[in-house]
Chain A
Amino acid sequence: MPKLMELVRSVFSIWLKQPVSIGLALFGIAVTLSLPMLLHTIMVNLGDALHGWSERPGIVLYLETTTSETDANKLIDVISVNPAVAQISFIDKQQGLDSLLKGGAVSVLQENIESNPLPHVIIVNPVIDLPKTEFDKLSESLSPLPGVHEIQVDYEWMEQIQAVTGLTYRIVFVFWSLLLFGIAMIISNTVRFMISTSEDEIHIISLVGGTWNYIRRPFLLNGALLGFVGSCLAFILFGLCVLYLKPALGDLIFVYQSHFVATFVPVVMLVSTVILATTVGGLAAWFTTTRFLKNLSSRM
Protein backbone atom coordinates (compact mmCIF):
# COMPACT_ATOMS: atom_id res chain seq x y z
CA MET A 1 0.00 0.00 0.00
CA PRO A 2 2.74 2.55 0.83
CA LYS A 3 4.42 1.64 -2.48
CA LEU A 4 1.18 2.33 -4.33
CA MET A 5 0.76 5.58 -2.42
CA GLU A 6 4.31 6.52 -3.37
CA LEU A 7 3.54 5.78 -7.03
CA VAL A 8 0.29 7.76 -6.96
CA ARG A 9 2.06 10.61 -5.22
CA SER A 10 4.86 10.66 -7.76
CA VAL A 11 2.30 10.71 -10.59
CA PHE A 12 0.20 13.52 -9.21
CA SER A 13 3.17 15.54 -8.01
CA ILE A 14 4.16 15.75 -11.68
CA TRP A 15 0.61 16.90 -12.58
CA LEU A 16 0.64 19.50 -9.83
CA LYS A 17 4.04 20.77 -10.96
CA GLN A 18 2.69 21.55 -14.45
CA PRO A 19 -1.09 22.03 -14.28
CA VAL A 20 -1.27 24.26 -17.35
CA SER A 21 0.73 22.03 -19.68
CA ILE A 22 -1.13 18.93 -18.45
CA GLY A 23 -4.47 20.73 -18.94
CA LEU A 24 -3.53 21.76 -22.47
CA ALA A 25 -2.37 18.25 -23.31
CA LEU A 26 -5.64 16.76 -22.01
CA PHE A 27 -7.66 19.26 -24.03
CA GLY A 28 -5.60 18.46 -27.13
CA ILE A 29 -6.21 14.73 -26.66
CA ALA A 30 -9.94 15.31 -26.06
CA VAL A 31 -10.32 17.39 -29.24
CA THR A 32 -8.28 14.92 -31.27
CA LEU A 33 -10.32 11.92 -30.10
CA SER A 34 -13.71 13.60 -30.44
CA LEU A 35 -13.12 14.38 -34.16
CA PRO A 36 -13.36 10.79 -35.48
CA MET A 37 -16.32 10.12 -33.18
CA LEU A 38 -18.13 13.12 -34.64
CA LEU A 39 -17.19 12.13 -38.17
CA HIS A 40 -18.49 8.62 -37.58
CA THR A 41 -21.78 9.88 -36.19
CA ILE A 42 -22.37 12.42 -38.94
CA MET A 43 -21.52 10.02 -41.78
CA VAL A 44 -23.55 7.12 -40.45
CA ASN A 45 -26.60 9.24 -39.71
CA LEU A 46 -26.50 11.17 -42.97
CA GLY A 47 -26.05 7.96 -44.93
CA ASP A 48 -28.92 6.23 -43.20
CA ALA A 49 -31.28 9.14 -43.13
CA LEU A 50 -30.86 10.75 -46.54
CA HIS A 51 -30.97 7.55 -48.58
CA GLY A 52 -33.24 5.47 -46.43
CA TRP A 53 -31.25 2.38 -47.36
CA SER A 54 -32.18 0.59 -44.25
CA GLU A 55 -35.78 0.48 -45.52
CA ARG A 56 -34.91 -1.10 -48.85
CA PRO A 57 -35.26 -4.86 -49.22
CA GLY A 58 -32.48 -7.30 -50.00
CA ILE A 59 -34.42 -10.55 -50.70
CA VAL A 60 -38.21 -10.59 -51.12
CA LEU A 61 -40.03 -13.92 -50.78
CA TYR A 62 -43.51 -14.03 -52.35
CA LEU A 63 -45.32 -16.94 -50.74
CA GLU A 64 -47.92 -19.22 -52.32
CA THR A 65 -51.39 -17.65 -52.12
CA THR A 66 -52.50 -20.75 -50.28
CA THR A 67 -49.84 -20.35 -47.55
CA SER A 68 -51.46 -19.40 -44.27
CA GLU A 69 -50.09 -16.81 -41.84
CA THR A 70 -49.23 -19.58 -39.38
CA ASP A 71 -47.15 -21.37 -42.02
CA ALA A 72 -45.52 -18.06 -42.92
CA ASN A 73 -44.50 -17.56 -39.30
CA LYS A 74 -43.03 -21.09 -39.20
CA LEU A 75 -41.07 -20.19 -42.33
CA ILE A 76 -39.79 -17.02 -40.62
CA ASP A 77 -38.60 -19.14 -37.69
CA VAL A 78 -36.67 -21.39 -40.09
CA ILE A 79 -35.09 -18.46 -41.95
CA SER A 80 -34.16 -16.49 -38.84
CA VAL A 81 -31.69 -19.14 -37.60
CA ASN A 82 -29.46 -18.48 -40.62
CA PRO A 83 -26.50 -16.39 -39.41
CA ALA A 84 -26.39 -14.52 -42.74
CA VAL A 85 -29.79 -12.99 -41.97
CA ALA A 86 -29.83 -9.69 -40.09
CA GLN A 87 -33.53 -8.83 -40.12
CA ILE A 88 -36.83 -10.35 -41.29
CA SER A 89 -40.04 -8.41 -41.96
CA PHE A 90 -43.44 -9.90 -42.68
CA ILE A 91 -46.09 -8.19 -44.82
CA ASP A 92 -49.39 -10.03 -44.76
CA LYS A 93 -51.65 -10.06 -47.82
CA GLN A 94 -54.06 -7.47 -46.31
CA GLN A 95 -51.21 -5.03 -45.61
CA GLY A 96 -50.04 -5.56 -49.18
CA LEU A 97 -53.51 -4.81 -50.56
CA ASP A 98 -53.93 -1.75 -48.32
CA SER A 99 -50.61 -0.48 -49.59
CA LEU A 100 -51.71 -0.91 -53.20
CA LEU A 101 -55.07 0.73 -52.56
CA LYS A 102 -53.42 3.77 -51.07
CA GLY A 103 -52.00 4.48 -54.55
CA GLY A 104 -55.57 4.39 -55.99
CA ALA A 105 -54.43 2.65 -59.17
CA VAL A 106 -56.20 -0.63 -58.43
CA SER A 107 -59.43 0.69 -56.95
CA VAL A 108 -61.28 -0.42 -60.09
CA LEU A 109 -59.86 -3.89 -59.78
CA GLN A 110 -60.93 -4.10 -56.19
CA GLU A 111 -64.51 -3.68 -57.19
CA ASN A 112 -64.22 -6.61 -59.59
CA ILE A 113 -62.53 -9.17 -57.34
CA GLU A 114 -64.14 -11.17 -54.60
CA SER A 115 -61.10 -12.03 -52.50
CA ASN A 116 -57.58 -10.67 -51.94
CA PRO A 117 -55.37 -12.28 -54.64
CA LEU A 118 -52.07 -11.07 -53.10
CA PRO A 119 -49.72 -13.49 -51.29
CA HIS A 120 -48.02 -12.95 -47.92
CA VAL A 121 -44.54 -11.48 -48.33
CA ILE A 122 -41.38 -12.03 -46.28
CA ILE A 123 -38.55 -9.51 -46.61
CA VAL A 124 -35.13 -10.80 -45.64
CA ASN A 125 -32.34 -8.30 -44.97
CA PRO A 126 -28.96 -10.02 -44.95
CA VAL A 127 -26.12 -8.84 -42.73
CA ILE A 128 -24.60 -5.69 -44.16
CA ASP A 129 -21.15 -7.01 -45.07
CA LEU A 130 -22.29 -10.29 -46.65
CA PRO A 131 -20.13 -11.14 -49.70
CA LYS A 132 -21.79 -11.82 -53.06
CA THR A 133 -21.14 -15.57 -52.93
CA GLU A 134 -22.72 -15.85 -49.46
CA PHE A 135 -25.61 -13.66 -50.61
CA ASP A 136 -26.21 -16.02 -53.56
CA LYS A 137 -26.02 -19.03 -51.25
CA LEU A 138 -28.61 -17.46 -48.96
CA SER A 139 -31.03 -16.68 -51.78
CA GLU A 140 -30.55 -20.18 -53.23
CA SER A 141 -31.31 -21.70 -49.85
CA LEU A 142 -34.52 -19.66 -49.54
CA SER A 143 -36.15 -20.42 -52.89
CA PRO A 144 -36.77 -24.16 -52.32
CA LEU A 145 -38.38 -23.60 -48.92
CA PRO A 146 -41.96 -24.91 -48.69
CA GLY A 147 -44.55 -22.24 -49.36
CA VAL A 148 -42.21 -19.95 -51.31
CA HIS A 149 -43.61 -19.16 -54.73
CA GLU A 150 -41.16 -16.61 -56.05
CA ILE A 151 -38.02 -14.91 -54.87
CA GLN A 152 -36.82 -11.45 -55.83
CA VAL A 153 -33.19 -10.63 -55.21
CA ASP A 154 -31.61 -7.15 -55.10
CA TYR A 155 -27.86 -7.49 -54.62
CA GLU A 156 -27.23 -4.10 -56.21
CA TRP A 157 -28.73 -2.59 -53.09
CA MET A 158 -26.35 -4.64 -50.98
CA GLU A 159 -23.40 -3.50 -53.05
CA GLN A 160 -24.42 0.13 -52.69
CA ILE A 161 -24.73 -0.21 -48.94
CA GLN A 162 -21.46 -2.12 -48.69
CA ALA A 163 -19.64 0.47 -50.78
CA VAL A 164 -20.86 3.40 -48.72
CA THR A 165 -20.44 1.61 -45.40
CA GLY A 166 -16.98 0.46 -46.42
CA LEU A 167 -16.00 3.98 -47.43
CA THR A 168 -17.41 5.40 -44.18
CA TYR A 169 -15.48 2.94 -42.05
CA ARG A 170 -12.30 3.40 -44.06
CA ILE A 171 -12.46 7.18 -43.70
CA VAL A 172 -13.14 6.86 -39.98
CA PHE A 173 -10.35 4.28 -39.66
CA VAL A 174 -7.84 6.50 -41.48
CA PHE A 175 -8.85 9.46 -39.33
CA TRP A 176 -8.68 7.33 -36.21
CA SER A 177 -5.22 6.00 -37.03
CA LEU A 178 -3.83 9.43 -37.87
CA LEU A 179 -5.32 10.96 -34.75
CA LEU A 180 -4.08 8.12 -32.53
CA PHE A 181 -0.64 8.87 -33.91
CA GLY A 182 -1.28 12.51 -33.05
CA ILE A 183 -2.24 11.51 -29.51
CA ALA A 184 0.95 9.48 -29.21
CA MET A 185 2.87 12.61 -30.22
CA ILE A 186 1.00 14.82 -27.72
CA ILE A 187 1.56 12.37 -24.86
CA SER A 188 5.16 11.73 -25.83
CA ASN A 189 5.83 15.46 -25.85
CA THR A 190 4.09 15.96 -22.50
CA VAL A 191 6.05 13.09 -20.93
CA ARG A 192 9.28 14.52 -22.36
CA PHE A 193 8.41 17.80 -20.66
CA MET A 194 7.66 15.97 -17.39
CA ILE A 195 11.00 14.18 -17.63
CA SER A 196 12.88 17.41 -18.25
CA THR A 197 11.45 18.90 -15.04
CA SER A 198 12.34 15.74 -13.08
CA GLU A 199 15.79 15.22 -14.58
CA ASP A 200 17.65 15.82 -11.30
CA GLU A 201 15.39 13.41 -9.45
CA ILE A 202 15.88 10.74 -12.13
CA HIS A 203 19.63 11.23 -11.95
CA ILE A 204 19.66 10.86 -8.16
CA ILE A 205 17.39 7.80 -8.20
CA SER A 206 19.66 6.24 -10.81
CA LEU A 207 22.75 6.91 -8.67
CA VAL A 208 21.24 5.36 -5.54
CA GLY A 209 20.38 2.17 -7.45
CA GLY A 210 16.96 2.79 -8.97
CA THR A 211 16.25 0.50 -11.92
CA TRP A 212 14.93 1.72 -15.27
CA ASN A 213 11.61 0.08 -14.46
CA TYR A 214 11.39 1.99 -11.17
CA ILE A 215 12.21 5.28 -12.90
CA ARG A 216 9.87 4.56 -15.81
CA ARG A 217 6.85 3.57 -13.72
CA PRO A 218 5.42 7.01 -12.81
CA PHE A 219 5.90 8.26 -16.37
CA LEU A 220 4.22 5.17 -17.83
CA LEU A 221 1.31 5.67 -15.49
CA ASN A 222 1.21 9.33 -16.43
CA GLY A 223 1.10 8.53 -20.15
CA ALA A 224 -1.68 5.97 -19.67
CA LEU A 225 -3.58 8.33 -17.40
CA LEU A 226 -3.31 11.15 -19.94
CA GLY A 227 -4.80 8.82 -22.57
CA PHE A 228 -7.56 7.65 -20.23
CA VAL A 229 -8.59 11.05 -18.89
CA GLY A 230 -8.22 12.58 -22.37
CA SER A 231 -10.58 9.99 -23.88
CA CYS A 232 -13.12 10.54 -21.10
CA LEU A 233 -12.98 14.28 -21.77
CA ALA A 234 -13.41 13.49 -25.48
CA PHE A 235 -16.78 11.85 -24.73
CA ILE A 236 -17.95 14.93 -22.89
CA LEU A 237 -16.79 17.13 -25.77
CA PHE A 238 -18.43 14.76 -28.27
CA GLY A 239 -21.69 14.80 -26.30
CA LEU A 240 -21.73 18.61 -26.29
CA CYS A 241 -21.06 18.69 -30.05
CA VAL A 242 -23.88 16.18 -30.72
CA LEU A 243 -26.28 18.24 -28.60
CA TYR A 244 -25.38 21.27 -30.67
CA LEU A 245 -25.56 19.52 -34.07
CA LYS A 246 -28.60 17.31 -33.52
CA PRO A 247 -31.33 19.93 -34.24
CA ALA A 248 -29.58 21.07 -37.42
CA LEU A 249 -29.15 17.47 -38.61
CA GLY A 250 -32.80 16.77 -37.80
CA ASP A 251 -33.91 19.77 -39.88
CA LEU A 252 -31.86 18.57 -42.84
CA ILE A 253 -33.36 15.10 -42.64
CA PHE A 254 -36.85 16.56 -42.36
CA VAL A 255 -36.30 18.53 -45.60
CA TYR A 256 -35.45 15.23 -47.30
CA GLN A 257 -38.62 13.71 -45.77
CA SER A 258 -36.69 10.80 -44.43
CA HIS A 259 -37.25 8.89 -41.24
CA PHE A 260 -34.38 9.87 -38.96
CA VAL A 261 -33.28 7.97 -35.93
CA ALA A 262 -30.00 9.33 -34.67
CA THR A 263 -27.41 6.65 -33.97
CA PHE A 264 -24.36 7.62 -31.97
CA VAL A 265 -20.97 6.04 -31.52
CA PRO A 266 -21.43 2.36 -30.59
CA VAL A 267 -20.46 1.31 -27.08
CA VAL A 268 -17.78 -0.98 -28.51
CA MET A 269 -16.23 2.02 -30.22
CA LEU A 270 -16.34 4.05 -26.99
CA VAL A 271 -14.73 1.30 -24.94
CA SER A 272 -12.11 0.59 -27.58
CA THR A 273 -11.34 4.32 -27.76
CA VAL A 274 -10.60 4.40 -24.03
CA ILE A 275 -8.52 1.23 -24.19
CA LEU A 276 -6.62 2.39 -27.30
CA ALA A 277 -5.95 5.89 -25.95
CA THR A 278 -4.76 4.46 -22.62
CA THR A 279 -2.53 1.92 -24.35
CA VAL A 280 -1.15 4.44 -26.83
CA GLY A 281 -0.47 6.81 -23.91
CA GLY A 282 1.40 4.12 -21.99
CA LEU A 283 3.40 3.05 -25.05
CA ALA A 284 4.30 6.63 -25.99
CA ALA A 285 5.47 7.24 -22.42
CA TRP A 286 7.46 3.99 -22.44
CA PHE A 287 9.32 4.89 -25.65
CA THR A 288 9.98 8.46 -24.52
CA THR A 289 11.26 7.42 -21.08
CA THR A 290 13.40 4.60 -22.46
CA ARG A 291 14.96 6.95 -25.01
CA PHE A 292 15.69 9.45 -22.26
CA LEU A 293 17.23 6.79 -20.00
CA LYS A 294 19.44 5.55 -22.84
CA ASN A 295 20.63 9.11 -23.41
CA LEU A 296 21.13 9.58 -19.68
CA SER A 297 23.21 6.44 -19.28
CA SER A 298 25.39 7.45 -22.22
CA ARG A 299 25.84 10.91 -20.66
CA MET A 300 26.48 9.61 -17.13
Chain B
Amino acid sequence: MIRFQHVSKRYEPGHDALRGVNFHVRAGEFCFLTGHSGAGKTTLMRLILAMEKPTRGNITIGGIQMHQLSRRNIPAFRRGIGVVFQDNKLLFDRSVSENVGLPLLVSGIHHRDIQRRVRAALDKVGLLKKETHNPQVLSGGEKQRVGIARAIINLPNILIADEPTGNLDDDMSTQIMELLRDFNQHRVTVLIATHDLRQLKQFPGSRHLLLNDGLLHSEAVKNV
Protein backbone atom coordinates (compact mmCIF):
# COMPACT_ATOMS: atom_id res chain seq x y z
CA MET B 1 0.00 0.00 0.00
CA ILE B 2 2.83 2.40 0.96
CA ARG B 3 6.24 1.47 -0.41
CA PHE B 4 9.46 3.46 -0.01
CA GLN B 5 12.50 2.24 -1.98
CA HIS B 6 15.87 3.89 -1.26
CA VAL B 7 14.16 7.21 -0.61
CA SER B 8 16.32 10.19 0.29
CA LYS B 9 15.29 13.78 0.76
CA ARG B 10 17.87 16.55 0.85
CA TYR B 11 16.74 20.12 1.56
CA GLU B 12 20.18 21.68 1.34
CA PRO B 13 23.71 20.35 0.98
CA GLY B 14 24.70 18.57 4.15
CA HIS B 15 21.15 18.32 5.50
CA ASP B 16 19.50 15.04 4.62
CA ALA B 17 16.03 14.69 6.13
CA LEU B 18 15.75 11.09 4.91
CA ARG B 19 18.58 8.78 3.87
CA GLY B 20 17.90 5.69 1.77
CA VAL B 21 14.65 4.78 3.51
CA ASN B 22 13.12 1.40 2.61
CA PHE B 23 9.84 0.05 3.97
CA HIS B 24 6.55 -1.40 2.86
CA VAL B 25 3.29 -0.88 4.74
CA ARG B 26 0.75 -3.42 3.54
CA ALA B 27 -2.98 -2.85 3.07
CA GLY B 28 -4.87 -2.90 6.38
CA GLU B 29 -1.81 -2.47 8.57
CA PHE B 30 -1.82 -0.30 11.70
CA CYS B 31 1.56 1.30 11.81
CA PHE B 32 3.39 3.73 14.06
CA LEU B 33 6.17 6.00 12.84
CA THR B 34 8.28 7.22 15.72
CA GLY B 35 11.43 9.19 16.19
CA HIS B 36 12.72 12.24 17.98
CA SER B 37 12.00 15.75 16.80
CA GLY B 38 13.79 16.31 13.48
CA ALA B 39 14.17 12.59 12.78
CA GLY B 40 12.31 12.94 9.45
CA LYS B 41 8.75 11.89 10.42
CA THR B 42 7.12 15.00 8.98
CA THR B 43 9.22 14.82 5.81
CA LEU B 44 8.09 11.23 5.33
CA MET B 45 4.44 12.24 5.79
CA ARG B 46 4.86 15.13 3.33
CA LEU B 47 6.32 12.75 0.76
CA ILE B 48 3.30 10.46 1.13
CA LEU B 49 0.95 13.41 0.59
CA ALA B 50 2.87 14.58 -2.51
CA MET B 51 3.75 17.81 -0.75
CA GLU B 52 7.40 17.11 -1.51
CA LYS B 53 9.35 15.19 -4.10
CA PRO B 54 12.12 12.82 -3.01
CA THR B 55 15.66 13.72 -3.99
CA ARG B 56 16.31 10.06 -4.75
CA GLY B 57 14.41 6.77 -4.68
CA ASN B 58 10.91 5.61 -5.53
CA ILE B 59 7.66 5.96 -3.62
CA THR B 60 4.57 3.97 -4.48
CA ILE B 61 1.27 4.78 -2.77
CA GLY B 62 -1.76 2.62 -3.50
CA GLY B 63 -0.14 1.41 -6.72
CA ILE B 64 0.67 4.93 -7.92
CA GLN B 65 4.31 5.69 -8.73
CA MET B 66 4.75 9.13 -7.18
CA HIS B 67 7.37 10.28 -9.68
CA GLN B 68 4.80 9.75 -12.43
CA LEU B 69 2.15 11.78 -10.64
CA SER B 70 1.59 15.08 -12.48
CA ARG B 71 0.65 18.29 -10.65
CA ARG B 72 -2.80 18.09 -12.25
CA ASN B 73 -3.44 14.66 -10.71
CA ILE B 74 -2.26 15.50 -7.19
CA PRO B 75 -5.68 16.72 -5.93
CA ALA B 76 -7.40 13.49 -7.00
CA PHE B 77 -4.57 11.49 -5.43
CA ARG B 78 -4.93 13.37 -2.13
CA ARG B 79 -8.67 12.66 -2.04
CA GLY B 80 -7.76 8.99 -1.65
CA ILE B 81 -5.78 9.66 1.52
CA GLY B 82 -7.26 10.80 4.82
CA VAL B 83 -5.04 13.12 6.84
CA VAL B 84 -5.27 14.07 10.52
CA PHE B 85 -3.11 16.93 11.73
CA GLN B 86 -1.82 17.72 15.20
CA ASP B 87 -3.35 21.23 14.99
CA ASN B 88 -6.62 19.93 13.42
CA LYS B 89 -6.43 22.47 10.57
CA LEU B 90 -10.11 23.32 10.87
CA LEU B 91 -11.74 26.39 9.32
CA PHE B 92 -13.23 28.50 12.07
CA ASP B 93 -15.52 30.51 9.78
CA ARG B 94 -17.43 27.32 8.95
CA SER B 95 -19.53 24.96 11.02
CA VAL B 96 -18.45 21.48 12.11
CA SER B 97 -20.46 19.82 9.32
CA GLU B 98 -19.06 22.21 6.70
CA ASN B 99 -15.53 21.40 7.85
CA VAL B 100 -16.19 17.69 7.67
CA GLY B 101 -17.84 17.98 4.24
CA LEU B 102 -14.99 20.04 2.74
CA PRO B 103 -13.24 17.12 0.95
CA LEU B 104 -16.57 16.18 -0.66
CA LEU B 105 -17.35 19.76 -1.60
CA VAL B 106 -14.03 20.18 -3.42
CA SER B 107 -14.68 16.87 -5.19
CA GLY B 108 -17.92 18.25 -6.61
CA ILE B 109 -20.19 15.80 -4.77
CA HIS B 110 -23.88 16.67 -4.72
CA HIS B 111 -25.00 18.71 -1.72
CA ARG B 112 -27.53 16.12 -0.55
CA ASP B 113 -24.93 13.34 -0.61
CA ILE B 114 -22.53 15.56 1.29
CA GLN B 115 -25.08 16.10 4.06
CA ARG B 116 -25.81 12.40 4.35
CA ARG B 117 -22.16 11.37 4.44
CA VAL B 118 -21.21 14.17 6.85
CA ARG B 119 -23.85 13.01 9.30
CA ALA B 120 -22.62 9.41 9.01
CA ALA B 121 -18.99 10.50 9.62
CA LEU B 122 -19.94 12.72 12.57
CA ASP B 123 -22.00 9.86 13.99
CA LYS B 124 -18.92 7.62 13.81
CA VAL B 125 -16.81 10.07 15.82
CA GLY B 126 -19.68 10.81 18.22
CA LEU B 127 -20.23 14.43 17.28
CA LEU B 128 -23.54 14.30 15.46
CA LYS B 129 -25.16 16.60 18.01
CA LYS B 130 -22.55 19.26 17.35
CA GLU B 131 -22.80 19.41 13.57
CA THR B 132 -24.02 23.01 13.52
CA HIS B 133 -21.49 24.24 16.09
CA ASN B 134 -18.52 26.38 15.25
CA PRO B 135 -15.33 24.36 15.83
CA GLN B 136 -13.99 27.17 18.00
CA VAL B 137 -16.40 26.25 20.82
CA LEU B 138 -15.31 22.59 20.86
CA SER B 139 -12.76 21.05 23.21
CA GLY B 140 -9.35 19.92 21.93
CA GLY B 141 -10.45 16.29 21.71
CA GLU B 142 -13.65 17.21 19.91
CA LYS B 143 -11.75 19.31 17.40
CA GLN B 144 -9.46 16.39 16.73
CA ARG B 145 -12.46 14.12 16.22
CA VAL B 146 -13.86 16.63 13.70
CA GLY B 147 -10.47 16.40 11.95
CA ILE B 148 -10.76 12.61 11.92
CA ALA B 149 -14.30 12.76 10.56
CA ARG B 150 -13.04 15.01 7.75
CA ALA B 151 -10.19 12.57 7.08
CA ILE B 152 -12.48 9.55 6.72
CA ILE B 153 -15.38 11.22 4.87
CA ASN B 154 -13.95 10.23 1.48
CA LEU B 155 -13.68 6.59 2.64
CA PRO B 156 -9.93 6.57 2.05
CA ASN B 157 -7.83 3.41 1.86
CA ILE B 158 -5.03 5.15 3.71
CA LEU B 159 -5.29 7.28 6.82
CA ILE B 160 -2.22 9.12 7.98
CA ALA B 161 -2.07 11.08 11.21
CA ASP B 162 0.72 13.46 12.17
CA GLU B 163 0.94 13.62 15.98
CA PRO B 164 -2.86 13.34 16.31
CA THR B 165 -2.74 13.35 20.11
CA GLY B 166 0.04 15.89 20.49
CA ASN B 167 -2.12 18.51 22.19
CA LEU B 168 -4.42 16.19 24.15
CA ASP B 169 -4.48 14.75 27.66
CA ASP B 170 -4.05 10.99 28.23
CA ASP B 171 -7.76 10.08 28.33
CA MET B 172 -8.53 12.02 25.21
CA SER B 173 -5.44 10.59 23.48
CA THR B 174 -6.65 7.06 24.22
CA GLN B 175 -10.09 7.87 22.78
CA ILE B 176 -8.58 9.28 19.60
CA MET B 177 -6.24 6.31 19.19
CA GLU B 178 -9.15 3.89 19.74
CA LEU B 179 -11.05 5.72 17.04
CA LEU B 180 -8.16 5.37 14.60
CA ARG B 181 -7.84 1.68 15.51
CA ASP B 182 -11.54 1.27 14.84
CA PHE B 183 -11.10 2.53 11.28
CA ASN B 184 -8.19 0.16 10.87
CA GLN B 185 -10.54 -2.73 11.71
CA HIS B 186 -12.41 -1.75 8.52
CA ARG B 187 -9.31 -2.47 6.38
CA VAL B 188 -8.09 1.13 6.33
CA THR B 189 -4.29 1.32 6.36
CA VAL B 190 -3.31 3.62 9.21
CA LEU B 191 0.06 5.32 9.63
CA ILE B 192 0.51 7.40 12.76
CA ALA B 193 3.52 9.62 13.33
CA THR B 194 4.15 10.13 17.03
CA HIS B 195 6.95 10.78 19.47
CA ASP B 196 4.94 9.25 22.35
CA LEU B 197 6.18 5.67 22.70
CA ARG B 198 3.59 4.89 25.40
CA GLN B 199 0.90 4.74 22.71
CA LEU B 200 2.63 1.77 21.09
CA LYS B 201 2.09 -0.34 24.18
CA GLN B 202 -1.66 0.21 23.97
CA PHE B 203 -1.74 -1.45 20.55
CA PRO B 204 0.21 -4.70 20.65
CA GLY B 205 0.61 -6.28 17.25
CA SER B 206 0.85 -2.99 15.47
CA ARG B 207 3.85 -2.19 13.29
CA HIS B 208 6.55 0.23 14.40
CA LEU B 209 8.87 2.20 12.14
CA LEU B 210 11.61 4.07 13.99
CA LEU B 211 13.33 6.97 12.29
CA ASN B 212 16.59 8.36 13.59
CA ASP B 213 18.40 11.20 11.81
CA GLY B 214 16.75 10.33 8.52
CA LEU B 215 17.59 6.63 8.74
CA LEU B 216 14.99 3.92 9.26
CA HIS B 217 16.33 1.57 11.93
CA SER B 218 15.95 -1.99 10.79
CA GLU B 219 15.38 -3.38 14.27
CA ALA B 220 12.29 -1.23 14.56
CA VAL B 221 10.61 -2.74 11.53
CA LYS B 222 8.98 -5.52 13.44
CA ASN B 223 5.89 -6.10 15.47
CA VAL B 224 5.79 -4.51 18.90
The CA-CA distance from A206 to B78 in the complex, in Å, is: 9
Known A209-B106, A210-B106; contact A204-B91, beta-carbon cutoff 8 A? yes
Question: For the complex, is A66 an interface residue (Cβ under 8 Å from B)?
Answer: no
Question: For the complex, is A297 an interface residue (Cβ under 8 Å from B)?
Answer: yes
Question: For the complex, is B76 an interface residue (Cβ under 8 Å from A)?
Answer: yes
Docked-complex contact B89 and A207, CB < 8 angstroms: yes
Number of interface residues of A (CB under 8 A): 19
Residues of A within 8 A of B107 (CB): 209
Question: For the complex, is A208 an interface residue (Cβ under 8 Å from B)?
Answer: yes
Residues of A within 8 A of B90 (CB): 204
Identity of the chain A residue whose Cβ is nearest the Cβ of B115 in the assembled complex: A2
Question: For the complex, is A6 an interface residue (Cβ under 8 Å from B)?
Answer: yes
Q: Which of A1-60 contact B (CB under 8 A)?
A: 2-3, 6, 13
Partner of A208, one of B51, B52, B103, B111: B103
Partner of A297, one of B71, B76, B79: B71
Docked-complex contact B79 and A208, CB < 8 angstroms: yes
Distance (Å) between the CB of B102 and the closest chain A CB? 6
Distance (Å) between the CB of A6 and the closest chain B CB? 7
Partner of B106, one of A2, A13, A214, A300: A214
The CA-CA distance from A209 to B108 in the complex, in Å, is: 11
Q: Which of A193-234 contact B (CB under 8 A)?
A: 200-201, 203-212, 214
Docked-complex contact B71 and A207, CB < 8 angstroms: no
Distance (Å) between the CB of A177 and the closest chain B CB? 34
Residues of A within 8 A of B89 (CB): 200, 203-204, 207
Partner of A13, one of B79, B93, B111, B150: B93
Q: Could you say which interface size class chain B belongs to? A: 20 to 34
The CA-CA distance from A201 to B98 in the complex, in Å, is: 13
Residues of A within 8 A of B103 (CB): 208-209
Residues of B within 8 A of A204 (CB): 89-91, 102
Docked-complex contact A208 and B71, CB < 8 angstroms: no
Question: For the complex, is B215 an interface residue (Cβ under 8 Å from A)?
Answer: no
The CA-CA distance from A76 to B75 in the complex, in Å, is: 70
Docked-complex contact B52 and A205, CB < 8 angstroms: no
Distance (Å) between the CB of B147 and the closest chain A CB? 10
Docked-complex contact A209 and B91, CB < 8 angstroms: no
Interface 1/0s, chain B 40-82, versus A by CB < 8 A? Answer: 0000001001011000000000000000000100011111000
Partner of B75, one of A13, A201, A209: A209
Docked-complex contact B52 and A207, CB < 8 angstroms: no
The CA-CA distance from A203 to B106 in the complex, in Å, is: 13
The CA-CA distance from A2 to B111 in the complex, in Å, is: 7
Q: Which of B117-166 contact A (CB under 8 A)?
A: 150, 154
Docked-complex contact A300 and B111, CB < 8 angstroms: no
Docked-complex contact B75 and A211, CB < 8 angstroms: yes
Identity of the chain A residue whose Cβ is nearest the Cβ of B91 in the assembled complex: A201
Docked-complex contact A211 and B106, CB < 8 angstroms: yes
Distance (Å) between the CB of A8 and the closest chain B CB? 14
- Identify 6 new A-B residue pairs, CB closer than 8 A, beyond the known A200-B89, A205-B102: A6-B105, A13-B93, A207-B78, A209-B75, A209-B103, A210-B75
B contact set with A: CB distance below 8 Å: 46, 49, 51-52, 71, 75-79, 83, 89-91, 93, 102-103, 105-108, 111, 150, 154
A–B Cβ pairs within 8 angstroms, 18 of them: A2-B111, A3-B108, A3-B111, A200-B91, A204-B102, A206-B78, A207-B49, A207-B89, A208-B83, A208-B102, A208-B150, A209-B75, A209-B76, A210-B106, A211-B75, A214-B106, A297-B71, A300-B52
